[in-house]
Every structure is written in C-alpha cells, then in structure tokens.
C-alpha cells in the first residue's frame, strides 16, 4: 500500500508552510523532521512525558498526540517562537537559566511552553498553580523546585517591569 | 512508536462524518481529541484503515440547556466544558469529575464525547454519565437514536456505538431543586492518572434535611462504571447522617467485580470503594446544605 498523503497549510511561529505530508506523520515529527525545528523534543511518543508540548491556536497541547494533517489551517508556536524578536532569550527562558531550572534540557522545551502558557493567563501564579501547570511534564533532573523558582522569578521580573537582568 | 498508515478525511459536518462511516464501516475510526486513540495507534494497538477527523465540525461543539437536561456536543473540548460556569451550576459533577482528568495539555485537546466512547472503566466522565443517567444521541446515515447510559457502557472500552455511528451529543440530567449537592473523589497514584477507584454522588434534600433523591456511582472497580441504585434508594427519607451513610455503603461490593494489579488488590479496591462512597455522600450532603443556606441568604 502506498503511503497516503495530504496537503496542509500550517502556520508555525508566524511562517506559513504549505506542503504534502504523510497522513500518519505526527505533528512533532513534522516540526522536527520536515521543518527542522528541533527545539521541540520527542520523548515518549504516547502522550505521557510532555517534552513535545507546543502551543496550538494559543493553547498548550502535546504534538505527539496530533497528526500534522490535523494542524491544517491552524497556528503553532514552538519553543523557537518563544524567544524575543531579536533572538535573545525571553524573560522566562532567562529565568530558567538563572535558577538552574534545567540540567539535561530534555524536558525544557515542554516546560517552557507549559509555563509560558500559564503566565499568559495567570501573570502571578502561586507555587501550587505552577506545579499544576507542569503536572503533565516530566523532569528527571531538577526535582521540579528550580522550575517553580524560574517561573516565579519570571513573574516577578515582568511585574517589576524589569524584564532584563 | 509510529502509527501504521491510514487514509485520512476531514469531515465538515456530522452528516459527512456519517457518510464516511457508512462507506468505510468497521475499518474507520472517528478522530476527535485523539488523546486516547493516537497513543493506541502509536503502540499499534489500534490500526484503523481510515481516520475521519471530526475536530472541525462546528455542530459538535454546542452547549445548551434544554429544559431539564443540559446538552453538550460530543466534540466540546474538556477544558471548555470545565470552564463553563453555567454548566457547572446546572450539572456540577461534570466539572468536579473533570478536575481529576489528565493535564492541561490533554484537556485542551481531549473531548467530552471522545472520553465517553473510549469508555475506560476508570475514567471520570463515563462515571458521571452513568451515575446521573445521562443519555447518548447516536447518529448514522439518515437516522438517530438515543441510548441510556445503563445500556451505553457495555464492557471495558466497549459501548453501544455501532461502527457506522457517530456520538453527536450527550444529554445530562439537570436536578432543578434548591438543595442539590454533589461530590467526586478518587484515589490515583498521581493526580491526572487513571483512578484506582473513583466515586461520585449527588443528593437532593428537603427543607428538613431529608434526602429526597440520591445517586451514587463507582468507577474503576468493575468492567464498566456502576450506579449503586439500591444503596442510593435506601437513603431516601433519611437525614443522611454519617451512621446511615456508613451502613448504606457497607454492601457496595455487590456492584463491583474489581481485578487485582500492581496498584491494588481486588479486596483493597472494594475497601476503597466503600470509603470513597461514604466520603462523596457526606460531601454531597454538606454541599446540598450549603446550597440551601446560599439560597436563603
């Protein structure tokens, strides 16, 4: 049986991509292998680890649990799209560095996407709310505490109008 | 961990989805949120020849009150249903159950209908539907039928839905009394995991605090979520005091047929069901009393 394909138009980080994709290609494989946006990590490939989290039409979702064909006509923001326009790190990304919110870095794109989405709707989250927002993202290095610290630091910096160090 | 190949179609209406199902029948699956189906496809536990995407069908996303029922379209995202304040007042158990479901990334995609037709025996929404006696509107090419929850859930991951049918909407009973309370609780290894055992209850009391109506549901301890009807009925006319509740749930095991696994033995699951059943009944009673005070104030 030939590999069935379908045409899609997907906007990723503000850039429109029109191409033909195998129907079974997962969204994360489309991002990483077709578009070469390898910031999004692929971990468990069955919706457990959260490393592949991306923002779909404003909401965080797991890109391993979607086929690229389902994103036809939709907008995706990946971790590459979270940085400032000049390519420098966002306040949140910088705060992850400051507080040692990452060690091996495997979970980091998913953590950034999850916590970026949290801060958009809740600019001053409690530690409990942060833990809830990252409950679908596994990290085996940090013990999570430094990630919570990073998000709180980012929230304080933004509130103080002091985005950059 | 890659899905096997499949043909793909995007349906723009329920009628179109039904036509595609009529054409491809048992070889086709509807793809809604995909939070259960896609992992099964990745693990090759499911290998549909056709996948019909129903995510873009606007008519699957309505949410409205219709007299004594609330009608939710099967394609509504779990997160949207959880945030709907009007629905939460009309059928509070839906939000109380969804609190325990997955994580924000999965609730942003997962749908109400998808969870119900997937019918995992430990899942929260099927339990709420069973306890409340919700009904399911199933469409196929040219016809429609409504199935009661008691007939809908048939076995683990098996429902009354035929291969050529699409779940269009779910009709949730709205208890219209002034003193209605409900509660949902479960034990799982981590929040968001499937429940080892889950329980929910809804009660209505009169101005003297006597129970006039009650339902009690248990999930994760039988092949389908169960409604403990005789226990709930035995509470009618009582004050729902702790002793009465404890005595009533003593026989909960008659409804259950749990298995043993690495997480819990069958005996422990029955014990948990008894503890959780009593707990949700007490909380529902207190919630009902609080509603009454709120009404007077």
pLDDT in tens, B162-174: 999 999 999 999 9
CATH number at residue B240: 3.30.390.50
Residue B262 — very low, low, confident or very high, per pLDDT cuts 50/70/90?
very high
Segments forming the whole domain that contains residue B46:
7-53
Query: Which pLDDT belongs to residue A161?
Result: 86
Decide which of B173, B203, B230 is a domain's last residue. B173
Chain A interface, mutation test: which of B102, B103, B194, most A Cβ atoms within 10 Å? B103
Residue B1 belongs to a domain = no
Burial class (CB in 10 A: 0-12, 13-18, 19+), A150: buried
Query: Which pLDDT belongs to residue B292?
Result: 64
Residue B288 — very low, low, confident or very high, per pLDDT cuts 50/70/90?
very high
B184 and B286 housed in the same domain: yes
CATH superfamily entry for domain A91-159? [2Fe-2S]-binding domain (1.10.150.120)
CB A135 within 8 A of CB B191: yes
B191 and B234 housed in the same domain: yes
Kindly tell me if the per-residue pLDDT of A27 is higher than 50: yes
Residue B222 belongs to a domain = yes
pLDDT in tens, B212-222: 999 999 999 99
Q: Which of B159, B171, B165, B161 is nearest to B143 (CA)?
A: B165
Residues in chain B with CB shorter than 8 Å from the CB of A46 are 1, 38-39, 42-43
CB A80 within 8 A of CB A37: yes
Enumerate the domain spans of chain A: 5-82, 91-159
Query: Which pLDDT belongs to residue B297?
Result: 34
Give all strands of the β-sheet with B211-219 in edge-to-edge order.
Answer: B180-187, B197-205, B211-219, B226-227
pLDDT in tens, A110-153: 999 999 999 999 999 999 999 999 999 999 999 999 999 999 99
Query: Which pLDDT belongs to residue B159?
Result: 98
Please state, in angstroms and rounded to a whole number, the distance separating the CA atoms of residues B217 and B208: 25
Q: How far is A40 from chain B (nearest CA, A)?
A: 15
B126 and B84 housed in the same domain: yes
Kindly tell me if the per-residue pLDDT of B293 is higher than 70: no
pLDDT in tens, B27-83: 999 999 999 999 999 999 999 999 999 999 999 999 999 999 999 999 999 999 999
B17 and B118 housed in the same domain: no
B285 and B218 housed in the same domain: yes
Task: Provide the number of structural domains found in chain B.
Answer: 3
Burial class (CB in 10 A: 0-12, 13-18, 19+), B192: middle
Residues 6+ apart with CB under 8 A from A83: A89, A90, A93
The pLDDT > 90 percentage for chain B reads 94
Kindly tell me if the per-residue pLDDT of B296 is higher than 50: no
Residue B2 belongs to a domain = no
Residue B185 belongs to a domain = yes
Decide which of B108, B140, B173 is a domain's last residue. B173
Query: Which pLDDT belongs to residue A1?
Result: 67
Mean pLDDT of chain A, nearest integer: 96
Residue contact A4–B6, C-beta within 8 A: yes
Query: Which pLDDT belongs to residue B25?
Result: 79
CATH number at residue B28: 3.30.43.10
A–B interface: beta-carbon pairs under 8 A = 95
CATH superfamily entry for domain A5-82? Beta-grasp domain (3.10.20.30)
B44 and B66 housed in the same domain: no
B63 and B149 housed in the same domain: yes
Kindly tell me if the per-residue pLDDT of B122 is higher than 90: yes
B211 and B135 housed in the same domain: no
Residue B30 belongs to a domain = yes
Q: Across residues A31-47, what is the average pLDDT?
A: 97
Decide which of B143, B173, B203 is a domain's last residue. B173
Q: Across residues A44-60, what is the average pLDDT?
A: 97
Query: Which pLDDT belongs to residue B291?
Result: 77
């Amino acid at each position: 049986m030939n590999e069935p394909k379908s045409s899609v138009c997907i906007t990723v980080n503000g850039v429109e991509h029109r191409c033909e994709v195998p129907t079974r290609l997962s969204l994360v494989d489309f991002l990483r292998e077709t578009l070469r946006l390898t910031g999004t990590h692929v971990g468990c490939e069955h919706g457990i680890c959260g490393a592949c989290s991306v923002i779909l039409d404003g909401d965080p979702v797991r890109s391993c649990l979607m086929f690229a064909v389902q994103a036809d006509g939709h907008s995706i923001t990946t971790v590459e799209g979270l940085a400032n326009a000049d390519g420098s790190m966002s306040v949140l990304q910088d705060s992850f560095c400051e507080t040692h919110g990452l060690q091996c870095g495997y979970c980091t794109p998913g953590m950034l996407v999850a916590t970026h989405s949290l801060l958009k709707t809740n600019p001053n989250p409690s530690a409990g709310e942060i833990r809830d927002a990252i409950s679908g993202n596994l990290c085996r290095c940090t013990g999570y505490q430094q990630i919570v610290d990073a998000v709180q630091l980012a929230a304080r910096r933004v509130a103080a109008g002091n985005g950059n160090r | 961990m890659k899905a096997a190949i499949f043909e793909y179609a995007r349906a723009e209406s329920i009628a179109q989805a039904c036509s595609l199902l009529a054409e491809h029948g048992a070889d086709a699956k509807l793809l809604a949120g995909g939070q259960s189906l896609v992992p099964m496809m990745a693990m090759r536990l499911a290998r549909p020849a056709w996948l019909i995407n129903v995510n873009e069908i606007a008519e699957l996303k309505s949410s409205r009150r219709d007299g004594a029922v609330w009608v939710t379209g099967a394609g509504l995202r779990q997160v949207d249903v959880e945030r709907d304040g009007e629905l939460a007042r009309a059928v509070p158990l839906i939000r109380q159950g969804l609190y325990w479901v997955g994580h924000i990334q999965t609730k942003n995609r997962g749908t109400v209908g998808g969870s119900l037709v997937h019918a995992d025996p430990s899942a929260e929404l099927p339990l709420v539907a069973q306890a409340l006696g919700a009904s399911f509107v199933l469409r196929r090419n040219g016809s429609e039928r409504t199935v009661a929850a008691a007939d809908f859930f048939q076995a683990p991951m098996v429902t009354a839905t035929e291969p050529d049918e699409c779940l269009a909407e779910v009709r949730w009973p709205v208890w219209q009394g002034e003193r209605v309370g409900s509660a949902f609780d479960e034990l799982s290894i981590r929040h968001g995991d499937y429940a080892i055992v889950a329980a929910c209850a809804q009660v209505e009391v009169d101005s003297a605090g006597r129970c006039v109506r009650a339902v009690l549901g248990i999930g994760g301890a039988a092949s389908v979520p169960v409604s403990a009807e005789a226990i709930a009925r035995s509470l009618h006319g009582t004050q729902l005091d702790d002793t009465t509740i404890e005595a009533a749930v003593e026989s909960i095991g008659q409804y259950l047929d749990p298995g043993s696994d690495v997480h819990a033995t069958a005996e422990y699951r029955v014990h948990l069901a008894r503890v959780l059943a009593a707990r949700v009944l007490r909380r529902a009673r207190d919630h009902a009393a609080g509603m009454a005070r709120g009404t007077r104030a």
